[in-house]
Amino acid sequence: MQEIFLEPFHIGLEPDRELGLVDFDAAILFKEGLRLRQIDDHARALTFFARILSEFTESRYRSAAAMQAGDCLESLGRAAQAVERYRIITRTLLQSRDWVDAAFRESMALAHLTRHQEGMVLLEQLLARAELSVSDRIDALVLLGEALTGYGELGQAESKLRKALRHYREHAQDEYLDPVSAARAEFRLARMAEQRFAQAPLRLPTAQLEADLEIKAQRLLSAQAGYLRTIRYGDPEWASEAGYRIGRLYLQLHQAMAQTADPIGLSVEEAEVYRDLVSKRTAVLLRKALHVFELTLRMGERTRIENEWTRAARAEFTRLESELMSLFEKLPEDGPENNTEEQQAPAPDESQKD
């Protein structure tokens, strides 16, 4: 004997105050919710999906309605409430085909809310699923690395990000994998390297300063290398931010050197000469930053991308052009010594950026 399951059907005597419908079932509500979403009426669409969740609790549309309701709430800027809708799936509908997508959406909403510990727990559950695709596993590892970073567990975060990159390299030859995830992981690692660079002090006396400067320059190169690897994956969004941050590395080193205290015991005249010398020696860093910002702008033009990073690079380029013109009006022409200095200073791999 064949058993047929029929969805519950609401029959009314007059139109429902919220919905404006007299007779409806979950399918009718879901279809109308999708129509409203297509015209970007997220608030109104949410009413229909919410009714499925409250009135048709055993409906086969429950999981899909929870996903759509969560998406509507995110569109309306209500991330905390979106998390609760996704949790209908991740906590009660464990066999739903939407479970993986819901877990990703919930983890990203939690990241937006800086609820990193909850996100870490959920992403570990996601990674424990044996059926997870390679692409989804890479994405989950990157998100887990970001959650761990936000939670302050930098060592574990770096391990997860590097694991994501290993998965990408191991499988990229066998199937198409979106390089955006790899670029994102590489960028996060570069940001960690940049933070280590920023934390490296420059201290007197002179011998200590020379040793500190060597360490800081090496950390600059490490961060720069990570940003260049980000750029090579070819995603314009991550590449534009990586290019901007390479330029900022040089500006940060210039600022750190400019703010270093004068050696003890200098007269007023000697201190003035010393500061002029520092200005001349560090001007090469401004020129390098200017060049990197120019390359970033050219890359943006080539890829037809205009975002906050290309705009920031343009603003820095304009500012540095003016600053360098003003500076070189005060300084003598560069001689062979300064040219040698520029060759020795760290510079980005321009062939790779182009």
Three-class SS of the chain: CCCCCCCCEEECCCCCCCCCCCEEEHHHHHHHHHHHHHCCCHHHHHHHHHHHHHHCCCCCCHHHHHHHHHHHHHHCCCHHHHHHHHHHHHHHCCCCCCHHHHHHHHHHHHHHCCCHHHHHHHHHHHHCCCCCCHHHHHHHHHHHHHHHHHHCCHHHHHHHHHHHHHHHHHHCCCCCCCHHHHHHHHHHHHHHHHHHHHHCCCCCCHHHHHHHHHHHHHHHHHHHHHHHHHHHCCCHHHHHHHHHHHHHHHHHHHHHHHCCCCCCCCCHHHHHHHHHHHHHHHHHHHHHHHHHHHHHHHHHHHHCCCCHHHHHHHHHHHHHHHHHHHHHHHCCCCCHHHHHHHHHCCCCCHHHHC
Q: What is the mean pLDDT of the chain?
A: 88
Q: Is the pLDDT of residue 337 over 80?
A: no
Burial of 313 (0-12, 13-18, 19+ CB in 10 A): buried
| Closest by CA position to 265, among listed 315, 320, 205, 330 | 205
- Per-residue pLDDT tens digits for 278-316: 777 788 899 999 999 999 999 999 999 999 999 999 999
| pLDDT at position 11 | 62
High-pLDDT (> 90) share of the chain, %: 73
In the structure, what pLDDT confidence band is assigned to residue 338 with cuts at 50, 70 and 90? very low
Domain ranges in the chain are: 178-263+279-354
**Token pair in block for residue 12:** 């009314």
Task: From 247, 341, 228, select the one nearest 286 (Cα to Cα).
Answer: 247
**Apex 126 CA angle, 122 and 132, nearest 5:** 165
Q: Could you read off the pLDDT of 218-238 as tens digits, one per residue?
A: 999 999 999 999 999 999 999
* Token output for 320: 């540095």
Q: Global pTM? A: 0.84
CB 292 within 8 A of CB 247: yes
Provide the pLDDT for residue 6: 54
At 329 the pLDDT is 60
129-184 per-position pLDDT tens digit: 999 999 999 999 999 999 999 999 999 999 999 999 999 999 998 999 999 999 99
